Homo-oligomer: A and B are copies of this chain.
Amino acid sequence: MAVITILGAGYMGSALTFPADDNGHDVRLWGTWLDNDLISAVQEGKEHPRLQTHLPAGVRTYYSNGLAEALAGADLVINAVTSEGIVPVMQHAFPYMPAGALFASVSKGFWVGPGGNVHRLSRMVTPLAPTDDFRYLHIAGPSKALELCRRVPTAVHYACEDLARAERVAALMRTSYYQIYPTSDLAGCEACSALKNAYAIAIGLFDGLEKAGRISQSYNTKSVAFAKAVREMALVVEALGGQADTAYGLPGVGDLLVTAMAGRNRTFGEMLAQGQMSAAQVVAYMSEQGQLTEGYPAIRTGWYLVNQLANRGALRLESFRLLRALYEIVYENAPVWPMLRDLRWVD
């Protein structure tokens, strides 16, 4: 039995209490200053407001001021706050993390530095660690929290440059319904996790156009966009030194599919394509409903990243016709259908 502390009490942090508890661990769920209502509900014996189910009875919950207590004696710390929250939260958490504690993160996104440079989250978090022994592990793959907490069979990669450590963390978390495959391709997994949110918006755009009657059923075109998204992710992965197979597997193809079928990013695209609101208005509207659309910033950071990589000669900007189209649609008000209609397959 291990002590597992999960930071962030939203969808995925809370869903991860299920496999952790099923494995008999001492599971602690800490809420950020934004999660007070979630923690209150659970402490009052109600269903978790996002997951709409009760957390396992053994899970102990902590308000944001209980960080030290939540982390005391932790064997494994899992970060489950947003990509914008991970740096401030880990700055707070590191001083209380026991030496030698394992670490994993489900945050999906990039970090934009002050100079506009785009960084992988692992590159931002690792230097904040007080010890050289810290190794960042990223969880990637198709994993909707609402299904994981219902024990729907799920398969993910645990990605850490230290493969043996990935196996150690996996051994704590895997269950019959939560398959975990360790990999050393941290760069590839981080890139896919961030970019699939951006590309899922493309699929939502098609569905929005169809629903609004602006185009007829266009599975042919949508499939080209889906395949192009996968190819573009693979090119970024390779430019970052990762393995293209990561994009062609669970973190790329698999996670893009689940996000495109059912995620909030898809909803964002759908609403945008109906033509009633600007991208900023859709974001504002969805935020009011408590729906975060990570794909919206990911389109911008993804586009900045490929520009950076192109400047370094690591890839060719012309290969990213879909990402460019998404950027122009979402940030420059380019017309949706002409951009998608004219998408070319060529790399």
**Which A residues are within 8 Å of any B CB, using their own CB?**
142-144, 147-148, 150, 152-155, 179, 181, 215-224, 226-227, 230-231, 234, 244, 248-250, 252-255, 257-258, 261-262, 341, 343-346
The answer to whether B341 and A153 touch across the interface, beta carbons within 8 angstroms, is yes
Residue of B nearest to A178 (CB): B220
- Give 9 new A-B contacts, CB below 8 A, not counting A179-B345, A223-B258: A144-B219, A147-B216, A147-B220, A148-B220, A155-B345, A222-B257, A224-B254, A230-B248, A248-B248
Nearest CB on B from A71, distance (A): 29
| Pair A152/B230 contact, Cβ less than 8 Å | no
How far is the CB of A323 from the nearest CB of chain B, in Å? 17
What B residues does A220 contact at CB under 8 A? 142-144, 147-148, 152-155, 258
CB distance from A210 to the nearest CB of B (A): 11
**A-B pairs with the 8 shortest C-beta distances?**
A142-B223, A227-B254, A154-B220, A223-B258, A223-B254, A227-B253, A153-B221, A223-B257
| Chain copies in complex | 2
Q: Which of A148, A227, A231, A257 has the most chain B CB atoms closer than 10 A to its own CB?
A: A227
Knowing A144-B220, A153-B221, A155-B345, say if A249 contacts B261 (CB, 8 Å). no
Residues of B within 8 A of A253 (CB): 223, 226-227, 230, 253
Known contacts: A224-B155, A250-B227. The answer to whether A262 contacts B216 by CB under 8 A is: no
Chain A to chain B contacts (Cβ below 8 Å), 14 pairs: A142-B223, A143-B220, A147-B219, A152-B220, A153-B221, A219-B257, A223-B261, A224-B254, A226-B257, A227-B249, A227-B257, A230-B248, A234-B248, A248-B248
A218 to B147, Cβ gap below 8 A? yes
With the chains together, A144 CA to B221 CA distance in Å?
10
